[in-house]
Structure 1
Amino acid sequence: MAYIDMSARFALDNGLDVVVEGILHSEIYGDMLTQLQRDHRGVTRAFVYELGLEETLRRHRTKTLAAEVSEEQVSSWYRESDRIPELGEIVFDADASASDALAQVLAEVGWGEAE
């Protein structure tokens, strides 16, 4: 966790855009992400997929990583509604296509439209 925080802060302090992405459980990463957002002087947005376990597993099956990471592992990582309220997360549900989600992310952070 300290490495994620340090790396993000270093990049932000040097004028770079940063995306912190991953399975970031609120009980482990919530305080760090909240403080990172509070400390950042520029545009900061948080996005989260709100998916049920079955949809999460269905999407996992479509990835090449599925051969290396079992559904049992994914299930053990799954947390229903694992949100961090202080971040003001923008929520994507199962109906949001990848292109719709990307377009919204780009619009929210001011990067324009997806090409």
Structure 2
Amino acid sequence: MTTPNLTKSSPTLVIIRGNSGSGKTTAAREVRRRFGRGAALLEQDYLRRIVLREHDSARIDPVAPTFIAATARTALDLGYHVILEGILHTERYAAVLHQLIDDHPGPVAVFYLDVSFDETVRRHLGRDEPIPVTPDEMRTWYTHRDLLDIPGETVIGETSTFEQTVTTILHASGLTTVVPQTPCPRRCPHCARKADQTTTATDAP
């Protein structure tokens, strides 16, 4: 999905949503790892739970939705491609996400990992470091197919393997073809040396 005012120099905004245990965080981290420097990874849980230490409840008129959207907008304005991931329930986040998307002049790609409740529990229990929550607690968070209803929103089902999911996000978002726009990978001597070493190793017989 691309916004109408697409320009070559505009960074890319990627939004990855899904229920707890759907695999969105692991996929987002791998997408950023494969892209390299020049892409900012914004995790809802970190920004809300660690930075703000705020409960995710509509009853308190939370600050997190506005804060997360503003953080993404700042990173985009500074030339970073942005990968934003989280449950990002439409009840609290739909308005700020729609505004973020509408205001961004560059490419936007939105993904929803559509995973059943039973599968989210199975994946949660299979984590190396499971979050200390019970299936009953997870059920209170679970929202079936909580789509943003944006044209071009890509729904990735639970039969998609991790590799397929990451590949889909990379290719559908266009991150496989865009280049870094931030100072570090473009002008950093350390990055230049690393690139030269990679080229030399690739060219070696």
- Same fold per superposition (TM over 0.5): yes
How far the C-alpha of 1:31 sits from its partner, in A, is 1.1
CA separation in 1, counterparts of 2:127 and 2:141? 17
CA separation in 2, counterparts of 1:87 and 1:3? 25
Q: Which moved more, 1:87-96 or 1:15-24?
A: 87-96
Counterpart for residue 170 of structure 2: 106
Q: 1:59 aligns with which of 123, 134, 141?
A: 123
Per-residue CA deviations over 1:31-64 (Å, capped at 9, x if unaligned) read 1111111111111100011111101111111113
TM-score by length of 1: 0.89
CA separation in 2, counterparts of 1:85 and 1:2? 20
CA separation in 1, counterparts of 2:117 and 2:94? 21
How far the C-alpha of 1:67 sits from its partner, in A, is 4.5
- Structure 1: 4+ residue segments shifted above 4 A: none
CA separation in 1, counterparts of 2:110 and 2:151? 6
Counterpart for residue 76 of structure 1: 140
Secondary structure of the residue aligned to 1:108 is: helix
Percent identity reads: 32
Letter of the structure 2 residue corresponding to residue 9 of structure 1:
R
CA separation in 1, counterparts of 2:138 and 2:83? 22
User: More helix by proportion, 1 or 2?
Assistant: 1
Counterpart for residue 184 of structure 2: none
Q: 1:37 to 1:56 in 2, by over 3 A?
A: same
Secondary structure of the residue aligned to 2:82 is: coil
Q: 1:87 to 1:27 in 2, by over 3 A?
A: farther
Q: Which has the higher contact order (CA 8 A, sep 6+)?
A: 2
Is 2:141 the counterpart of 1:93? no
Q: Which moved more, 1:56-65 or 1:6-15?
A: 56-65
Letter of the structure 2 residue corresponding to residue 81 of structure 1:
R
Q: 1:79 to 1:4 in 2, by over 3 A?
A: same
Q: Name structure 1 gaps, 5 residues minimum.
A: none
User: More strand by proportion, 1 or 2?
Assistant: 2
How far the C-alpha of 1:65 sits from its partner, in A, is 4.1
RMSD: 1.6
Q: Name structure 2 gaps, 5 residues minimum.
A: 1-64, 178-205
Counterpart for residue 22 of structure 1: 86
Q: 1:40 to 1:27 in 2, by over 3 A?
A: same
